[in-house]
């Protein structure tokens, strides 16, 4: 059995040309998370249900994939920045996953993320760098391994993460991900891309 991948919405970040000259206070930044859907057996997983211009950008493609928000079983946060978590409440029946634990209702189940299997074809690995708590979702699909990660903001990197305090750890996490030989990388704020020799490490 392999997982099926649907891109719900492709994000963008503060380096977008629309943000030229903005200071983030009087004129707020525009930023949106890439939001993805994975299905594997009875599991329907949304990765990084964060900020978007309109919630329809998540909900309409979800409906197009034949699912209601209530049918989502799991939500994964690559990290805890609001631009990747803000719309988690759209999915009232989902378990939430981060680096530390699984959360559902008022229950908090401690567990390490490294190697945790959400389903037979979907697992989590720890990939600190963008933040110390970053995780990556790894899915085995008919197209090969697909990873969902904030180790890259987009296909171009950036080579040095401007918000990271530990780019050496980030580079180690990127190497860990590339060692999986992914067919596709779904970054935090951009279109999915196939890694090649120009992919920043």
48 is a domain residue: yes
Q: What is the mean pLDDT of the chain?
A: 96
Whether 146 is covered by a domain: the verdict is yes
User: What gap in Å lies between CA 137 and CA 197, rounded to an integer?
Assistant: 22
Q: What pTM does this model have?
A: 0.96
Q: Is the pLDDT reported for residue 195 higher than 80?
A: yes
| pLDDT band with cut points at 50, 70 and 90 for residue 25 | confident
Tokens 């970054």, residue?
A: 187
**pLDDT (average), residues 184-200:** 96
Residue 90 belongs to a domain: yes
Q: Which two tokens stand for residue 111?
A: 């567990």
- Domain hosting residue 167, numbered range: 4-186
Continuous segment of H or E residues that includes residue 174 = helix 167-178
Q: Are 127 and 173 within 8 A, CB to CB?
A: yes
The answer to the question of residue 150 being in a domain is yes
10 Å CB burial of residue 90 (0-12, 13-18, 19+) is: middle
User: For residue 198, is it within any domain?
Assistant: no
pLDDT of residue 148: 98
Domain annotation covers residue 192: no
| pLDDT the model gives residue 188 | 96
| 112: CATH | 3.60.15.10
Mean pLDDT on 2-9: 97
Residue 178 lies in a domain: yes
Q: Are 48 and 74 in contact (CB under 8 A)?
A: no
The more confidently predicted of residues 24 and 45 is: 45
State residue 17's pLDDT score: 86
Which H helix or E strand runs over 172? Answer: helix 167-178
Whether the ω angle into residue 108 lies within 30 degrees of 0, i.e. cis, is no
**Residue 127 covered by a domain:** yes
Residue 23 is encoded by which pair of tokens? Answer: 């200071």
Which one, of 187, 132, 116, lies nearest residue 124 by Cα? 116
Query: Tens digits of per-residue pLDDT, 33-63?
Result: 999 999 999 999 999 999 999 999 999 999 9
Are the C-beta atoms of 77 and 187 separated by less than 8 Å? no
User: Given a cut of 80, is residue 1 above it in pLDDT?
Assistant: no
Strands in 35-40's sheet, in edge-to-edge order, are 4-9, 35-40, 43-47, 74-76, 95-97, 101-104, 107-110
Number of domains in the chain: 1
> What is the distance between the terminal CA atoms of the chain, rounded to a whole angstrom?
31
Tens of pLDDT, residue by residue over 66-118, are 999 999 999 999 999 999 999 999 999 999 999 999 999 999 999 999 999 99
Quote the pLDDT of residue 18: 87
């Amino acid at each position: 059995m392999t997982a099926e991948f649907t891109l719900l919405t492709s994000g963008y970040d503060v380096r977008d040309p629309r943000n030229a000259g903005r200071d983030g206070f009087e004129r707020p930044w525009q930023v949106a998370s890439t939001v993805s859907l994975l299905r594997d057996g009875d599991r329907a997983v949304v990765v990084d249900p964060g900020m978007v211009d309109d919630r329809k950008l998540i909900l309409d493609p979800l409906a197009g994939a034949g699912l209601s928000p209530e049918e989502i079983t799991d939500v994964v946060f690559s990290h805890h920045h609001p631009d990747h978590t803000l719309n988690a409440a759209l999915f009232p029946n989902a378990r939430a996953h981060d680096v530390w634990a699984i959360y559902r209702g008022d229950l908090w189940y401690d567990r390490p993320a490294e190697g945790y299997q959400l389903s037979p074809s979907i697992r989590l690995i720890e990939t600190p760098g963008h933040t110390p708590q970053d995780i990556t979702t790894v899915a085995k699909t008919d197209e090969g391994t697909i990873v969902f990660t904030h180790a890259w903001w987009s296909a171009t990197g950036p080579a040095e993460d401007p918000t990271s305090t530990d780019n050496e750890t980030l580079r180690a996490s990127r190497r860990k991900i590339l060692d999986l030989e992914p067919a596709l990388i779904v970054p935090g704020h951009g279109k999915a891309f196939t890694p090649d020799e120009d992919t920043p490490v």
